[in-house]
Structure 1
Amino acid sequence: MVTRVIKPSTMSSAIGDHFISLANPEPWVSQTTVVITGLLLMLTTCLVWFNQTVRSLTLFCWACFFKPFAKNDHGNSHQSALESFYRSQASIYDSSRGVLLKGREKALQLAASHLKKSSKLVWIDVGGGTGYNVEIMNSLLPITSKFEKVIVVDLSISLCEVAKQRFEKLGFNNVEVLVADACDFLVPEKYMGNVDLITFSYSLSMIPPFHAAVDHILPMLNKEIGIICSVDFGVQTSATSIGRTNTLGGSVNRHVPWVFRTFWRAWFELDRVFLDPARRDYLEYKFGTIKSLNCSNRLLGNIPYYIWIGCDKDRSSLLLHRLNAMATESPYLAPASSVPVKSKGYERALENNKKHLPYPSIYYQREVWRVYYEESNPQYAQFNDQYIYAFTWEDPREDIKILNLKPSDVVLAITSAGDNLLSYASIEKPPRRIHGVDLNPAQNHLCELKLASLRCLKYEEVWKLFGLGKVENFEELLFSKLAPQLSSNSFQYWAKHGPQIFDIKGKGLYDTGFTRWALRLAKYVFKIAGVSDTIEELLTCKSMEEQKFLWESKIKPAIFNPIVSKMLVGNPIFLWKALGVPPNQAKMMNSSILTYVVDTLDPIVGRSLISKDNYFYYLTLRGRYSPTNCPDYLTKQTFKKMHEKESPLDNIRLHTDTLNDVFERLASGSLTVAIIMDHMDWFDPKKNEAQSEVEHLKKCLCNGGRVLLRSISKEPWYIKVFEENGFHCQAAAVRVKRMTIDRTNMYASAWVCTKIPARRVSDLTI
Structure 2
Amino acid sequence: MSSVQVASDAIVTGFNDLLHKIVDEKIPNLFQLNETTYPVLISFAVTTLAFIVLYSNEYTKSFMVFAYACFVKPFASRSVDHANHQNNLEGFYKTQAKFYDTTREVLLQGRDDALKLAFSHTKAQQADPKKKLVWVDIGGGTGLNIEKMDTRVANLAENFDAVYLVDLSTSLCEIAQERVAKYGWTNVTVICGDACDFELPHKEVDLITFSYSLSMIPLYHSAIDHAEELLNPDTGILAVVDFGIQTKSTSIGKINTVGGLEQRHIPWIYRTFWRLWFEFDKVYLDPSRREYLEYKFGTVKSVNRYNKTLGSIPYYIWLGVNKSQDAQLMYRFNQLATESPYLAPAEAPSSNNNSSSSNPISKALEAAVSNTRKNLPYPSLFYQVQTWRVYYDELCAIYDVFHKQYIYAFTWEDPLEDAKILNLTSKDTVLAITSAGDNLLSYACLPDPPRRIHGVDLNPSQGHLVELKLASITALSYDQMWSMFGEGKIDNFEELLTTKLAPHLSSNALQYWLINGKKTFDPNGKGLYDTGFSRWALRLARYVFFITGLSSKVEKLCEAKTIEEQKQIWDTYIRPVLYSTLVGKIFVGNPIFLWKALGVPANQAKMMGDSVLQYVIDTLDPVVGKSLISSNNYFYYLCLKGKYSKDNCPDYLTPEGFQQLKSGTATGGESPLNGLRLHTDFLNNVFDRLSSKTITVAVIMDHMDWFDPHGEDALNEIKSLHGALSGGGRVLLRTAALKPWYIEDFEKLGFKCEAAGVRYSGEMIDRVNMYASTWVCTKLPTKMERKMSRIQI
TM-score by length of 2: 0.89
Alignment partner of 1:621 out of 630, 640, 646: 640
Once residues 207 and 506 of structure 1 are traced to their aligned partners in structure 2, the CA distance between those partners, rounded to angstroms, is 44
Aligned equivalent of 1:555, options 563, 574, 597: 574
Equivalent residue for 1:121, pick from 133, 151, 156: 133
Q: Does 1:179 align with 2:179?
A: no
What is the match of residue 111 of structure 2? 104
- Cα distance in 2 for partners of 1:357, 1:756 equals 46
Q: Is 1:501 matched with 2:520?
A: yes
2:539 alignment partner in structure 1: 520
Alpha-carbon separation, structure 2, partners of 1:284 and 1:309: 9
Query: 2: distance between equivalents of 1:524 and 1:571?
Result: 17
The 3 A distance-change label for structure 1 pair 761 and 148 is closer
Task: Write out aligned runs for 1:358-757 (5 A).
Answer: 358-644=377-663, 645-757=669-781
Instruction: Give the CA deviation at 1:316.
Output: 4.1
* Distance of 1:469 and 1:365 partners within structure 2: 27
Displacement, 1:559? Answer: 2.0
* Of 58, 65, 68, the match for 1:59: 65
Matched residues, number: 725
Note if 1:213 corresponds to 2:223: yes
Verify the 8 A CA contact 2:298 2:322 in the aligned structure 1. yes
CA deviations 1:427-446 (Å, max 9, x no partner) are 00000000100111100110
Equivalent-residue separation in structure 1 for 2:581 and 2:368 (angstroms): 62
- SS of 1:161's partner is helix
- SS of 2:644's equivalent? coil
In structure 1, the residue matched to 2:316 is 306
Q: 2:259 aligns with which of 235, 246, 249?
A: 249
Residue by residue, what CA displacement relative to the aligned partner does 1:99-146 show, whole Å, maximum 9, x if unpaired? 110101100010010123445311111100000000011022211232
Query: Would the alpha carbon gap of residues 757 and 717 (structure 1) be closer, same or farther in structure 2, given more than 3 Å must change?
Result: same
Pick closer, same or farther for the CA change 1:521–1:39 going to 2, 3 Å: farther
- In the aligned structure 2, how far is the partner of 1:592 from the partner of 1:88? 80
Cα distance, 1:553 vs structure 2: 1.4
For the structure 1 residues 37 and 697, does the alpha-carbon distance in structure 2 shift closer, same or farther, using more than 3 Å as the test?
Answer: farther
Question: Do the aligned residues in 1 keep the contact of 2:209 with 2:238 (CA within 8 Å)?
Answer: yes
Letter matched to residue 63 of structure 1: A
Task: Say if 2:360 and 2:690, in contact at 8 Å, map to a contact too.
Answer: no
- Across the aligned residues of Structure 1 and Structure 2, the Cα RMSD in angstroms comes to 2.1
Please give the alpha-carbon distance, in whole angstroms, between the structure 2 residues aligned to 1:374 and 1:93.
43
More off after superposition, 156-165 vs 565-574: 565-574
Secondary structure in structure 1 of the residue aligned to 2:753: strand
Taking structure 1 as reference, are residues 384 and 50 closer, same or farther at Cα in structure 2, changes over 3 Å only?
farther
Matched with 1:356 is 375
| Letter of the structure 1 residue corresponding to residue 227 of structure 2 | I
Supply the AA of the counterpart residue of 2:533: F
Name 1:239's counterpart in structure 2. Answer: 249
* 1:166 alignment partner, one of 165, 179, 184: 179
Partners of 1:662 and 1:563 lie apart in 2 by 44
The alignment partner of 2:754 has SS state of: strand
Give the partner amino acid of 2:676: I
Amino acid corresponding to residue 81 of structure 2 in structure 1 = G
| Aligned position for 2:207 | 197
- For the structure 1 residues 695 and 344, does the alpha-carbon distance in structure 2 shift closer, same or farther, using more than 3 Å as the test? same
Task: Determine the structure 2 residue equivalent to 1:280.
Answer: 290
> In the alignment, what sits opposite 2:20?
none
1:85 deviates by 0.8
CA shift at 1:608, angstroms?
1.4
**SS of structure 1 residue aligned to 2:728:** strand
Q: Deviations over 1:347-375 (max 9, x none)?
A: 21122112111111111111111111111
Other structure's SS at 1:138 match = helix
Which runs of 5 or more residues in structure 2 are unaligned? 13-52, 124-128, 664-668, 788-793
CA distance in 2, matches of 1:86, 1:694: 69
3-state DSSP of counterpart to 1:603: helix
Aligned partners of 1:608 and 1:667: how far apart in 2?
Answer: 42
Per-residue CA deviations over 1:294-343 (Å, capped at 9, x if unaligned) read: 11111211111000011111134221221332464254973254626511
Task: Give the drift of 1:504.
Answer: 1.1
8 Å Cα contact 1:366/1:484 also seen in 2:
yes
Q: Which of 255, 259, 264 is matched with 2:274 structurally?
A: 264
Q: Structure 1 residues 378 and 562, CA, compared in 2 at 3 Å: closer, same or farther?
A: closer
> How big is the shift at 1:270?
1.0
Q: Which string of whole-angstrom CA distances, capped at 9 and with x for unpartnered residues, describes residues 171-209 of structure 1?
A: 012111111111111112xx11x2011110000000011
Output the amino acid matched with 2:77: K
CA–CA distance in 2 between the matches of 1:221 and 1:691?
Answer: 53
What displacement does 1:530 show? 2.0
CA separation of 1:37/1:487 partners in 2, compared to 1, >3 Å: closer, same or farther?
farther
Alpha carbons of 1:187 and 1:435: their partners in 2 closer, same or farther (altered >3 Å)? same
Relative distance call for 1:762 and 1:740 in structure 2 (3 A) is: farther
Shift in CA distance, 172/656, structure 1 to aligned 2, threshold 3 Å: same
Q: Distance in 2 between matches of 1:711 and 1:431?
A: 25
Structure 1 vs Structure 2: percent identity of aligned residues? 56
Distance 1:513 1:75 in 2: 57
What amino acid is aligned across from residue 126 of structure 1 in structure 2? I
Is the contact between residue 330 and residue 665 of structure 1 (CA under 8 Å) also seen in structure 2? no
1:236-266 superposed Cα distances (whole Å, 9 cap, x missing partner): 0101111111111111110111110011111
Aligned to 2:157, what secondary structure does the other structure show?
A: helix
> What is the letter of the counterpart of residue 350 of structure 2?
A
Deviations 1:370-425 (A, max 9, x none): 11111111111111111111111111111111111111001000000000100111
**Alignment partner of 1:309: what SS?**
strand
Match of 2:2 among 28, 33, 56: 33
Name the CA shift for 1:250/1:39 in 2 (closer, same or farther; >3 Å).
farther
* 2:348 corresponds to 1:335: no
- Distance verdict in 2 for CA 1:312–1:38, change over 3 Å: farther
Asked if 2 retains the 8 angstrom alpha-carbon contact of 1:411 and 1:671, the reply is yes
Contact persistence 1:318–1:363 (CA under 8 A): no
* Counterpart contact for 1:709–1:751, Cα < 8 Å: yes
Give the Cα–Cα distance (whole angstroms) in 1 for the partners of residues 578 and 637 of structure 2. Answer: 17
- 2:38 maps to none
Q: Distance in 2 between matches of 1:235 and 1:282?
A: 14
Q: Distance in 1 between matches of 2:515 and 2:162?
A: 35
Q: For residue 714 of structure 2, what is the amino acid of its counterpart?
A: A
Shift of 1:529: 2.6
Q: What amino acid does structure 2 have at the position aligned with 1:435?
A: H
CA distance in structure 2 between the partners assigned to 1:33 and 1:120 by the alignment: 55
Q: Deviations over 1:20-53 (max 9, x none)?
A: xxxxxxxxxxxx4379479989x9xxx8999233
1:691–1:78: structure 2 CA closer, same or farther, 3 Å change rule? same
> Cα distance 1:636–1:48, how it changes in 2: closer, same or farther (>3 A)?
farther
